[in-house]
Amino acid sequence: MNVRGLLGGWNVVKNLLVCIPLFACLLLNSGCALISGEPARKEITSFYSPSTTEFKRDAGSLLDPPFVAGNSIKTLHNGDEIFPAMLSAIRSAQHTINFETYVLWDGHIAREFVDALAERARSGVKVNVILDALGTHKMGGENLVHLRDAGVDVFKYHTIFWLDPRRYNYRTHRKLLIVDGKVAFTGGVGIADEWAGNGQGTKKYRDNQYEMTGPVVAQLQGAFCTLWLRSKGDVLSGPEYFPTLTNSGPYLAQTVSSSTWDGNLDFLYRLAIASAHKTLRIENAYFLPDKLIRQELVAAAKRGVKVEIIVPGELIDSKLIRVASKKHYPELLEAGVKIYEYQMAMLHVKLMIVDDTLVSIGSGNFDNRSTRLNAEVNVNVLDANFAAQHIDLFEQDKARSRETKLREHKGFHPFQHLINLALPAL
């Protein structure tokens, strides 16, 4: 083969190698999936309003487990409130700690958590940790060694497995902490310095996390223990993990655990949209609903529901998702959906409020990756007072957002934007 032929062959190989990272980026960030045997999905045209007793009965049975009464739920805003509360709970542990996270990046905050978990393990507390292999790739080897040397049982979830590389596409995106089976935390927070502070700044995250006591804690514990069983084969049980829980507050709550093998989050979102009769408020870090969910949002707006959505603005950690999301704005805006882009920081909140009664909080994003691939946990709360608190939070974030208009998206060509985004990397 002559030199020109060799160079031509090399150029082909080089172009293929360039495409691989771009494809991987699209796969991991936009929710592209390698799914076979997907369950049938049809539009849910209507459902009981959350303000009815029928909703509690039917949604409790369909989503499973049922709503349980007597829970206390404290909303923690941004790192200044979130991290001290979580670290205090860890340091108070007497028997067990179960901790599962997607993000743990080396830095001051991560080292505080690692030190606290290691200290409890050395003191005889049984500490079990699930770290997503992709999301915690920046945790630093020293932190991992520190945990294991202290006796923490650490499991890296879905590392690269060359015999079946598809496995790497299925992540755990949960943010769970359960201490002594009595107090639990969930929400959107990552264990990283980017979440520290008051949720303002171009490189900071605006987020919510929730501290819970009462019977719903056993449901959250069950979500962790089920994934631990599937991952390691070990059964975590007994009073150290599942103590008797007494009523501690006024809230009716339900845990919805979702994963690759069940798709419960997808069903939760579609059922909630169908149950909206008056208002539907969605605030989410990654808003990329598929065609069916977009149809259901449009149908809700057309039947007279006031639909408002807050999404990240220019300050977002995944430009590809923003580009892909904006492609569908015209379809929603034309139906009367209001869309607001947050301006003060990187919005990472996951919140849905339906008919001023149902509030869904947790780790789930509004994209295919969360609804049909990732392991996620959301908690549904049926309470008008709790909803009112979150409507206030929603309105505060909306005031820091810019409403996007239909005229801004005329002639929008997302494919060209993808090319422009990819060129610097090439």
pLDDT of residue 76: 98
pLDDT of residue 411: 59
Q: Tell me phi and psi for residue 234, to 5 degrees.
A: -95, 140
pLDDT of residue 88: 98
Give which of 87, 312, 346 is closest to 202, Cα–Cα. 346
44-420 CATH? 3.30.870.10
Q: Are 284 and 290 in contact (CB under 8 A)?
A: no
pLDDT of residue 10: 47
Express each pLDDT in 403-424 by its tens digit: 999 988 765 555 544 444 443 3
CA-CA distance, 6 to 119, in Å (whole number)? 59
The residue among 419 and 165 whose pLDDT is bigger is 165
CA-CA distance, 313 to 285, in Å (whole number)? 10
Tokens 């404290």 — which residue?
Answer: 74
Q: Tell me phi and psi for residue 247, to 5 degrees.
A: -60, 135
Catalytic residue (choose from 204, 350, 390, 398): 350
Express each pLDDT in 56-100 by its tens digit: 999 999 998 999 999 999 999 999 999 999 999 999 999 999 999
* Whether residue 8 has pLDDT greater than 90: no
pLDDT of residue 11: 45
pTM (2 d.p.): 0.89
348 carries an active-site annotation: yes
Triad 260, 288, 306: Cα angle to 5°: 115
Catalytic residue (choose from 204, 348, 390, 398): 348
* Whether residue 294 has pLDDT greater than 60: yes
pLDDT band at 262 (very low <50, low <70, confident <90, very high): confident
* Whether residue 29 has pLDDT greater than 50: no
* Whether residue 1 has pLDDT greater than 50: no
Interval 356-375 mean pLDDT: 96
**Bond preceding residue 243 cis, omega within 30 of 0:** no
Catalytic residue (choose from 132, 207, 266, 355): 355
* Whether residue 289 has pLDDT greater than 90: yes
Catalytic residue (choose from 180, 266, 383, 397): 180
392 carries an active-site annotation: no
355 carries an active-site annotation: yes
Q: Which residues on adjacent β-strands are paired with residue 403?
A: 340
pLDDT of residue 420: 40
Catalytic residue (choose from 56, 132, 175, 328): 175
180 carries an active-site annotation: yes
Every domain of the chain and the residues it spans: 44-420
How many other β-carbons are positioned within 10 Å of the β-carbon of residue 8?
12
Express each pLDDT in 312-364 by its tens digit: 999 999 999 999 999 999 999 999 999 999 999 999 999 999 999 999 999 99
pLDDT band at 40 (very low <50, low <70, confident <90, very high): confident
The residue among 40 and 296 whose pLDDT is bigger is 296
